[in-house]
Structure 1
Amino acid sequence: MLDRNKVTHIYELVKAYGSTLQVRLDKESGQWRRTEAIAAKHEREFSVNPLTGRYGSGEVHAPLLCPGDPRSNLPTPLRKHLAEKLHGQDGEIVLGWIDAVISGAGEQVVID
């Protein structure tokens, strides 16, 4: 369950599924960035960063993890990339949630 939930969340961002674009290439820096609407949505959401286990909002809670151009990532290569990048992180994620609850930070979670 942990693996499917975190991969699903990241996969949706990387693939930019939806009725509008969710990520755009910043040509000056060569980096992929979230659109303003998605960045604003993330500012209201709280989660544990899958790489660091830190609880927070904004970009820190759902990093963009893509091996290449998000517009052309295919499920199988993307799944392999995410599995390699997130291997062994379940413990960090669970500890991040537990720490957030113990510290009272978990009370900030807003469920739509």
Structure 2
Amino acid sequence: MYPNQNWHCDWKGDIVGYTIGNDMSSRSIEGENPLFPSKSVRQKLFHRSLLRFNKHHTRPTSLSVECSIYRNGDEVFQASTSTGDMARSCSEINQWLHESNFVPDLTTVLKVLQ
């Protein structure tokens, strides 16, 4: 499991906001992953963060994500990462996406940070 940095873009190709999230569609994270809820619980959850950063964030190339999960007082999961670790910038990936595809307004792009 890795946190995702997500960005929202409009149909013109402009990035209009940033958010953080977790890709819950991978079957590989169903096992022992402490972040993956059971199927009965998962149907009731909204898996994407509601936190949004203004598109004019002063340093979108250095946004960081940190996550710690505790169970019964014991830390069972910890991870952190930053957009500074990405090989390509959000703008570069977004430009490539729009060059060859029709992209609906307010599309969310998930970029796994590892």
TM-score for both structures, normalised by structure 1: 0.30
Higher relative contact order (CA 8 A, sep 6+): 2
Larger radius of gyration: 2
TM-score, scaled to structure 2: 0.29
Structure holding more strand per residue: 2
Higher share of residues assigned helix: 1
